[in-house]
Amino acid sequence: MVQEVLINDDDYYVPDANQLVTEDDTSVDNFASAKQQRLLVTSLYSSLQSQTFLAEANVGIYYTDLQPPIVPDVFLSLDVQVPEKWWEKQNRCYMVWRFGKPPEVVLEIVSNKEGDELGKKRQIYEHMRASYYIVYDPNQQLGEKVLRVYELRGTRYFETSETWLEQVGLGVTLWEGEFEGRQDHWLRWCYQDGNVLLTGDERAEQERQRAEQERQRAEQAEQRTQLLADRLRAMGVDPDTL
């Protein structure tokens, strides 16, 4: 928690990073959430390599002084990156006053009814002014909706049925398939055409399949050439002289 110690830095008061608890060794609550977080974060880094952004799971966000951080399951912040000296105290977590902006997207994965994702957490993210707040509730702990998307309009969140996040140029979609050996339903980032952002493993598999198709096409072409040569020879024509 931020202590009531402030320093003056070029006429702006910012909390003293040495007084912040930037990590408390609290582990993620379950295997499913950990794997889902990993899918969301890794697919961003494998698919958006030409863009500058910061995406993380279970990293604290300090959004104001005199308040403890909030720790979203996943967040995405555009046009920022981790400072080079990331082991320094002031660089270990996301301090809004240092990055100059809140994340555009914060996301919570519901695993029980104790997280207050639709109450206190929503209020905090609204106050923090994150452009989008996404609540993924795979086991429908909070009601019938598996996915809720809130968009900041002015100073308030409004729930929307739109899963395309216009301000970040990405969407979210529910997807059934295999990730890290686990077949299940997952929440994934997607492009506007609905295609999901691929993980590194998926890209490697896609390349392997493409290479295999090329090998098969080359083999078939060689077989056709050999068949034609055999027919020419049967007709008394030497194909090497053509």
Q: What is the DSSP string of 217-235?
A: HHHHHHHHHHHHHHHHHHT
Residue 184: predicted pLDDT: 96
Query: 144-163 pLDDT, tens per residue?
Result: 999 999 999 999 999 999 99
CA distances in angstroms from 139 to 32, 44, 104, 132, 143, listed in the order given: 11, 25, 26, 22, 9
| pLDDT of amino acid 181 | 92
- Looking at the predicted structure, is the pLDDT value of residue 223 above 90? no
What pLDDT, on the 0 to 100 scale, is given for residue 232?
A: 76
Mean predicted lDDT score pLDDT of the chain = 87
Residue 27 or residue 128, greater confidence: 128
Residues near 233 by Cβ (< 8 Å), separated by ≥ 6? 239
The confidence score (pLDDT) of residue 240 equals 79
210 pLDDT tier (thresholds 50, 70, 90): confident
* Residue 98 scores a pLDDT above 70: yes
pTM as predicted: 0.80
